[in-house]
Structure 1
Amino acid sequence: MSNPDSFFNEVTEELRRDRMIGYLRKYGWIAVLAVLLIVGGTGWNEWRKATDRANAEAFGDAVLAALENNEPSERVSALAQIDTTGAQAGLIQLLSAGELMETDRAAALAALAAASEDTALPDAYRQLAALKRVIAGGSDIPLAEREALLAGLSQPGQPLRPMALEQTALLQLEQGNPETAIEIMTDLLSQSDVTDTLRRRVTQLVVALGGDVASR
């Protein structure tokens, strides 16, 4: 006769096998779906990266082609025809404003003002547009408005703070306050995030105004 224990073990193992097959039939699609999602997700990420890279290259080529036109009006027209998404729109606005400055200063300043107030653009582009408007607009923009714009741009932590402080000093000179201008610029020279070009420019101006930069 067969060993009862051996027979019992065989029956138990068979039942386990049947149960596992039943689980696989009932839930196996979940494992297959998980594998497909992992493989598909990896493929999707690679496709998205390749698409983003191709779109960026196409945008860059279109901008370069637009800027190769001979006349500013032609460059502006060509830039306006480029399809943009997200931050690209801000770059087109800034480039167009720069081109318009040669032929229609009022339109250029209006374009910079629009870009600086466009909440759909990245903050860095908005700040750059505001600073360019202050620099390009000069006395065409009311003094109080320029002071307010520069006050915001020159707050600690702002990316364009050094250049905004330089313009703030120049604004003080415009108002006949050289001592205040020197104070602003010497403080600017003590900061670590000042580029070499800006440092040389500010140093020369401080010296020309009779300020002391020996310890800076």
Structure 2
Amino acid sequence: MSNTDSFIEEVTEEVRRDKLFALMRKWGWLAGLIIFGLVGGAAYNEWSKARAQAQAQAFGDAVLAGLAGDANPTLLEELPTADANQELVKTLLLASTGAVDGADRAETAAALQALAETDGLPPLYRQLALLKAQMSGGTGDGARDTRILEELATPGTPFRPLAIEQQALRQLEAGNASGAITLLQQLLEEPGATDTLRRRALQVIVALGGNPTPA
């Protein structure tokens, strides 16, 4: 390669570098802005996911506490909800704890029963409202309450174990200890029953003089 060719290549390369530096000076801020946006967007996305997960966990814990009957009304009122379904469940739990207008058990049961009969209510929430109404004393109509509990205790329904426990309690209220023991024994063998529910069933069976045979 001649000295002339080498000189031309060096000049060409220098021109290229000058053009590149000029482009960087002109548009470098835009590239930096794009990179900042991508990094910031990814960070915000991760933060949003973590926040949503924390809210969902808190809401789930509140639901479990409400089902167990030891929910704190004040904490429930302050609990944030992410959508209409969570707001509905929150209303259910507040009603079931008697936190709405200081309602007594009869008023609470009536409010929950009315909520269960709302048009368009998703089946899961309808069954939850019915269950909580029964746990608050029921409708006052024994035959109607029996039909409701039979529906809730149908195999495959989400709250079957709790409904069976309520059926056993109704048998006790009616003075039918053997019927209550039979239902509680059935509860011990129910796959969906929690350990807490099984312990309660065992304690009542023993208190009634039965002979529990845990599954």
TM-score past 0.5 threshold: yes
Structure 2: distance between partners of 1:96 and 1:176: 32
Structure 2: distance between partners of 1:120 and 1:162: 25
Contact conserved, 1:90 with 1:115, CA < 8 A, in 2? no
Q: Deviations over 1:61-104 (max 9, x none)?
A: 9xx9xxxxxxx7x999x78xx99854134223213312436822
Which residue number corresponds to residue 91 of structure 1? 89
Which sections of structure 2, spanning at least 5 residues, go unmatched? 1-44, 63-72
| Equivalent runs, 1:100-139 vs 2, <5 Å | 100=99, 103-105=102-104, 106-138=106-138
| Structure with more of its chain in helix, by fraction | 1
2:199 is aligned with 1:207: no
Contact conserved, 1:169 with 1:184, CA < 8 A, in 2? yes
In structure 2, the CA distance between the partners of 1:181 and 1:118, relative to structure 1 (3 Å rule), is same
| Equivalent runs, 1:1-216 vs 2, <5 Å | 86-97=84-95, 98-100=97-99, 103-105=102-104, 106-138=106-138, 141-214=140-213, 216=215
Structure 1: distance between partners of 2:112 and 2:214: 38
Structure 1: distance between partners of 2:98 and 2:181: 34
Structure 1: distance between partners of 2:185 and 2:213: 10
Distance apart, 1:211 and its partner CA: 1.1
Q: Secondary structure at the match of 2:205?
A: helix
Structure 2: distance between partners of 1:198 and 1:153: 16
Structure 1: distance between partners of 2:109 and 2:174: 22
Which residue number corresponds to residue 13 of structure 1? none
Which residue number corresponds to residue 27 of structure 1? none
Which sections of structure 1, spanning at least 5 residues, go unmatched? 1-46, 65-71
Structure 1: distance between partners of 2:82 and 2:119: 16
In structure 2, the CA distance between the partners of 1:186 and 1:115, relative to structure 1 (3 Å rule), is same
Aligned residue pair count:
158
Q: Secondary structure at the match of 2:91?
A: helix
Aligned-residue RMSD, C-alpha? 3.9
Q: Secondary structure at the match of 2:90?
A: helix
Structure 1: distance between partners of 2:101 and 2:201: 27
Which residue number corresponds to residue 37 of structure 2? none
Distance apart, 1:107 and its partner CA: 3.8
In structure 2, the CA distance between the partners of 1:128 and 1:112, relative to structure 1 (3 Å rule), is same
TM-score (norm 1): 0.58
Structure 2: distance between partners of 1:124 and 1:75: 23
